[in-house]
Amino acid sequence: MTDISTSITPAASPTPGRKRAEVSPPTQSTSMYKAREPIFPKLVHGKFRRIKWIFMAVSLGIYYLLPWLRWDRGPTLPDQAVLLDFAHQRLYIFGLEIWAQEFYYVTGLLIISALLLFLVTALAGRVWCGYACPQTVWTDLMIAVERIWQGDRNARMKLAKAPWSLDKTWRLAGTHVSWLLIGLATGGALVFYFADAPTLFMELVSFEAPAIAYIFIGIFTATTYVLGGLSREQVCTYMCPWPRIQGAMFDADSLLITYRGFRGEPRGPHKKGDTWEGRGDCIDCNQCVVACPAGIDIRNGAQLECIQCALCIDACDEIMTKVGRPTKLIAYDTYRNLEAEAHGKRAPIRLIRPRTILYAGLTALVGGLMLFGLSQKTIFEMNVVPDRNPLFVQLSDGSIRNGYEIRLLNKRRETRSFGLSVSVPEAKINVVGIDGENPPITVAPDDLRSIKVYVSVPREKAATLGATTPITITARDRDDGTETARETTFKGPGR
């Protein structure tokens, strides 16, 4: 890891043209607080803007439409493709069905998500923040809506300064009502993940849905409106911990959005026909600043507020093309390469390095474990817990009896009947609550049945067994003959 703090100071002071916010030395004590400065991001066109539009459409499409997707699981189970069924403690994801006791799959998914986040950050910086984070996607959507109602940057700035009028009122009202409707749709879509979407929708519109549904829709409407519509970049700058963590995730080989100071400086206005000799390529047109949804100047180098959304790249590339200079004055690049290029060399991108190998390896490991677990998923499971108190009981005829708590899990859609057997042929099996020796045990469809089983070994056989004998208890499906076996122990007084 090279020290990157000293590598590049792009804007060599003093700079011609515009500087960062001029601060005159304060005469009285400066305020401890300041109001949010409203930001009016300008619409840009270009490669990354297009990627972001596509990403927004796909992710929002998935979010809003997924609950409506059907997936046939037979008559007894819900036919919703993705459903978090709290009442029955199940999670349905297409063909996958996760029971409450298999919740570690969800943990695995979360671990994989975190590792992928680390990997992507090590490779290309805050890609998650810039393209995929819900805060970014919804803020982007809210800004697009605002643009529809109020026009682009200049019009919005004018409107904000303008005195109240009928025109301003209906434009602002339209904006906020649209935001609230988006919030309502967002909260509404979320509750559909927890109940059958069409049913719940009908209940919601006829005001018969459970109160909890309305409460959650209300909460998420409010948060979407406040965070996406009103707070925007304030969430990333002041509320979110991720910007503070990102410093540990980058290194000199991560692709970050950077301004190439060595090429751009000294900056200054440029008239058509003037020479480009003896000056930088940056014409100080400020397009990168007005495009920025965080309201910062990328030319000041890496900043906490920058979510690396790449909109400044699009803005700058457009200008560079216009003035006939090469693009990529602002671009995804590594600090190592930037340093090299400043000295006229090149440093190739190294995607494979210890950090990325580690993250990718861990991701593969956890993913492999989960796939292995899923491949071992059975439609019938058994747990055997031997009684610990008393360990064994001697009966009047001298035989030795052990008790076991056996849980049979029938994941099939129909009632199944099971027979038990023990690896000691002389043993007798009795089930509490079911008469007869070794009776068939029926388990309801999609259900778990807990039974108490007594295994007795006659005196002569018990005399040959030690204090602890490993035995196997096998449950056999009486319909199709599939078997599940569990190792356990048989305790006795010893010889």
Calpha distance 89→103 (Å, rounded)? 10
* Residues whose CB is less than 8 angstroms from the CB of residue 285 and which lie 6 or more positions away in sequence, other chains included: 319
Among 5, 6, 34, 277, binds other proteins (CB under 8 A): 34
By the rule CB under 8 A, 260 interacts with other proteins? no
Q: Residues 413-452 vs other proteins: string with x where CB under 8 A?
A: -----------------x-xx------------------x
Q: Quick one: tokens of 137?
A: 């996607």
Calpha distance 331→288 (Å, rounded)? 12
295: left (phi over 0), alpha (psi -120 to 50) or beta: left
By the rule CB under 8 A, 6 interacts with other proteins? no
Q: What is the DSSP string of 413-451?
A: SS-EEEEEEESSTT-EEEETTEEEES--EEE-TTEEEEE
Candidates 21-29, 183-191, 193-201, 326-334; binding stretch for other proteins (CB under 8 A): 21-29
- Burial of 83 per CB tally in 10 Å (0-12, 13-18, 19+): buried
Calpha distance 202→205 (Å, rounded)? 5
By the rule CB under 8 A, 238 interacts with other proteins? yes
Smaller CB separation from other proteins, 18 or 279: 18
Residue 427 in contact with residue 465, Cβ under 8 Å? no
By the rule CB under 8 A, 241 interacts with other proteins? no
Peptide bond preceding 266 in cis form (omega within 30 of 0): yes
By the rule CB under 8 A, 22 interacts with other proteins? yes
By the rule CB under 8 A, 87 interacts with other proteins? no
Candidates 156-164, 247-255, 391-399, 476-484; binding stretch for other proteins (CB under 8 A): 391-399
Among 279, 454, 476, 489, binds other proteins (CB under 8 A): 454
Site for other proteins in 392-411 (CB under 8 A): 393-398, 401, 403
Site for other proteins in 273-292 (CB under 8 A): none
Long-range own/partner contacts, residues 1-9 (CB < 8 A, 24 or more apart): 1/251, 1/252, 2/251, 2/252, 2/335, 2/336, 4/250, 4/251, 4/252, 4/335, 7/252, 7/335, 7/338, 7/339, 8/258, 8/261, 8/301, 8/335, 8/338, 8/339, 8/342, 9/261, 9/301
By the rule CB under 8 A, 19 interacts with other proteins? yes
Among 29, 76, 206, 375, binds other proteins (CB under 8 A): 29
Candidates 24-32, 64-72, 177-185, 358-366; binding stretch for other proteins (CB under 8 A): 24-32
Helix (H, G, I), strand (E, B) or coil at 243: helix
Among 12, 17, 36, 219, binds other proteins (CB under 8 A): 36
Q: Residues 196-235 vs other proteins: string with x where CB under 8 A?
A: --------------------------------------x-
Minimal distance, residue 318 CB to other proteins, in Å:
28
By the rule CB under 8 A, 390 interacts with other proteins? yes
Which chain residues interact with other proteins by CB under 8 A? 13, 19-26, 29-36, 234, 238, 387-390, 393-398, 401, 403, 430, 432-433, 452, 454
